[in-house]
């Protein structure tokens, strides 16, 4: 059996779209323990993906488990998923006119051991966002973007946030399946 250790709707959709049969068992880990900026965004994303895959694989002996996670950094600060619409608006204000570094990690584990892991990195130039735009955007996208670390869904209106994007499509979606 293949298990996805994530409740993310977009990660579920990625695996469905490639034709895989799987079960969803979200990992219950303490992400704050892995979020040490001294490690760098790449290692944080990879460590979180591995921790999720390992945690669920210990509960499901013999099954292959995919763990994945994404982290966002802007101006040297690490951002979490917004806990409220106001926090989402504050994140967007901080992102406005800046380069967003998005790193996603993915790992495959079985019986509590990581068999494979990988990370991908994307750079997204956020355009200048007016307060009017931010509120209009959140009127249309909240609460769905509350489940995303960058406060956007690239497959939806989130594309409007950016001037340029460099990086793998699956990395931006949160599961870097293809090395870039």
| Helix, strand, or coil (residue 158) | helix
Which of these, 106, 100, 48, 103, lies nearest to 76 by C-alpha position? 100
CB atoms within 10 A of CB 21: 8
Which of these, 155, 153, 89, 101, lies nearest to 126 by C-alpha position? 101
By the 8 A CB rule, do 104 and 175 touch? Answer: yes
Supply the residues annotated as catalytic. Answer: 69
Residue 170 token pair: 């699956």
Give the whole-angstrom CA distance, residue 57 versus residue 179.
24
By the 8 A CB rule, do 72 and 100 touch? Answer: yes
């Amino acid at each position: 059996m293949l298990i996805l250790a994530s409740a993310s709707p977009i990660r579920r959709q990625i695996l469905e779209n490639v034709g895989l049969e799987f079960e969803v068992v979200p990992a219950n880990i303490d992400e704050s323990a892995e979020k040490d900026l001294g490690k760098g965004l790449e290692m944080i994303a990879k460590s979180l993906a591995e921790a999720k895959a390992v945690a669920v694989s210990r509960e499901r002996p013999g099954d292959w488990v995919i763990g994945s996670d994404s982290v966002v950094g802007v101006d040297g600060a690490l951002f979490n998923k917004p806990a409220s619409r106001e926090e989402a608006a504050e994140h967007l204000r901080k992102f406005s006119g800046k380069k967003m570094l998005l790193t996603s990690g993915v790992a495959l584990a079985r019986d509590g051991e990581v068999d494979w892991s990988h990370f991908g990195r994307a750079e997204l130039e956020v355009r200048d966002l007016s307060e009017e735009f931010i509120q209009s955007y959140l009127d249309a996208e909240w609460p769905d973007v509350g489940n995303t670390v960058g406060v956007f869904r690239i497959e939806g209106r989130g594309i409007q946030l950016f001037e340029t994007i460099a990086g793998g499509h699956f990395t931006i979606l949160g599961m870097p399946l293809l090395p870039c």
